[in-house]
Structure 1
């Protein structure tokens, strides 16, 4: 039995709470996993990226999972394109779901919010304005590998952006590199979940995960 949350978007009884505004106990620095996560908690409410400090990663590894997170770009729009609230959530530290302020902000199609980065654009642009919070609700299926290390079944992902289906059981064809083909260079198991630092003060809150 799993007790659902009283309010939509809050965590069910079996979820691992990754961030609830109180602390960063579930995270470490991506530059040095022996150090604490270097981002800033604001008003015991949300987490703000500190530019030039690097990304953060979970202490725990994950494979198949259900993930909920909420995010927003800075309220004041200064830059455009890939410099507006750019971040990303990486599953197994390899496969990126893009985070970007795509509200009235033109960029390359597979680099907008809710893209599987440099691979699959979202079905629709479901962004809210910079003054509002966005949510991702994600079901991720990890890749499976043959005994010889070659890919057997690729990773797949379903994403709801602000309640709108934007990735429908989409195949992830490999590591989401900025340049070059996406492929699976080597077999791997569960690995950490990470949030990217891209020089933008993107904000996060209410992050929880369920192992599937």
Structure 2
């Protein structure tokens, strides 16, 4: 990881140093690439070229979720992603709170499961909460997209009682504001950690379909004044 005015670069561009596989999986297919595009023979898959700067979830597009070895709390996150046709991934702040990634190109009925959605919680085998994006800013599959996320971790008092929920202060998707001041009262479905805390790793979903990432920058934010 390297530091710049944009924050910490969580991907070194060459290998998966600084990232771990969910569940302690000894093997995963995440790897670096120099270029990525839709496979011309099958747009539901990705084709890559050898090189550096991009990381993707392997030739099958279904492998372990990965998360950072370091933990973070309040932050600004910039992430660029690319999906194949019909594919699905997700960005989990603190390993607990998901912003959905999906091929939502042309989608008109938006839900929490659409790209840009704050994903639902899962209680008693049914979805609870979840917030759709304000609008569909999706680009076609095979094109790079961006999230710029401002996030505040939950807060706790000295006795461990939660005093403030996790909050997505702002989410900008491809230049369009799609969320402001969205509180998340608990961990969303698929979280790698079920209990809440003040810090946690950044997790990227790797088992739902082909996805590539680049330019993943995280800037820690100072605590809010009380």
Q: TM-score, normalised by structure 1?
A: 0.80
Which of 177, 180, 194 is equivalent to 1:165? 177
Cα distance between partner residues in 2 of 1:38 and 1:189: 30
Which of 10, 15, 29 is equivalent to 1:23? 15
- The number of equivalent residue pairs is 189
SS at match of 2:112: helix
Residue in structure 1 matched with residue 127 of structure 2 by the alignment? none
SS at match of 1:147: coil
Quote the RMSD (CA, aligned, Å).
2.5
Residue in structure 2 matched with residue 46 of structure 1 by the alignment? 54
Q: What per-residue deviation string (whole Å, max 9, x for no partner) do you get for residues 18-61 of structure 1? A: 1253222221111317x576402112132111344210000110
Cα distance between partner residues in 2 of 1:129 and 1:187: 35
SS at match of 1:97: strand
Q: TM-score, normalised by structure 2?
A: 0.75
Question: Are the counterparts in 2 of residues 127 and 162 from structure 1 also a CA contact under 8 Å?
Answer: yes
Which of 198, 201, 206 is equivalent to 2:215? 206
Residue in structure 1 matched with residue 75 of structure 2 by the alignment? 65
Which of 165, 179, 201 is equivalent to 1:192? 201
Which of 112, 120, 141 is equivalent to 2:152? 141
Report the CA distance shift for 1:189/1:109 in structure 2 as closer, same or farther (over 3 A): same
Question: Are the counterparts in 1 of residues 79 and 146 from structure 2 also a CA contact under 8 Å?
Answer: yes
Report the CA distance shift for 1:22/1:53 in structure 2 as closer, same or farther (over 3 A): same
